[in-house]
Amino acid sequence: MVDSRQKGARFENDVCKRINDFMVARGSPVRVRRNLEQYQISSQCDIELPGFAIECKAYKDGCWYQNAWWDQVLESCGEKIPVLIWKFNNKPPRVVVPTYFLNDSFAKNNSRTVVMSLDEWLNNIDMDPEFYFPQQFCAACED
């Protein structure tokens, strides 16, 4: 039997690797890692990316995310954009984000969501240099 905590940690690590590979490929110094405080403090997201609060779920069976998972990321996101990344065995990861993530002319309403692949989400991340190359992350920016 697979330990659910270990399975979740493996999936979170895989998501971190995919995000970090994406950032490296675009020349961004931003890196993510698992938020280990999630086990000690409630209402913590699994992964933090500047501007985003990411919750990851990996389950054996299913075809769609559960509303409770979305509620969990909403509880931890604060002012950040909530992101739910989920996966079922032998299926590709899927991502839920609010519609305003794709089009800032939409009202900031976290109950209106869109589902996409992990690659689609990564390719839609706004690569604004001021956002993804902040001085606190960029040693090359320091004099």
Full residue range of the structural domain in which residue 67 is found: 4-141
- At 68, the amino acid letter reads A
pLDDT at 141: 42
Residues of the chain with pLDDT under 50: 135-143
- At 133, the amino acid letter reads F
pLDDT at 137: 42
Q: Computed from CA positions of residues 45, 127, 97, 121, in that sequence, does the dihedral angle turn out positive or negative?
A: negative
- Nearest-5° Cα angle at 83, 81 to 85: 170
| Beta-ladder partners of 49 | 52
- At 63, the amino acid letter reads C
**pTM of the model as a whole:** 0.85
How many structural domains is the chain composed of?
Answer: 1
Q: What is the CATH number of the domain that holds 65?
A: 3.40.1350
pLDDT at 129: 60
pLDDT at 64: 94
What is the H or E stretch that residue 73 is in? Answer: helix 67-77
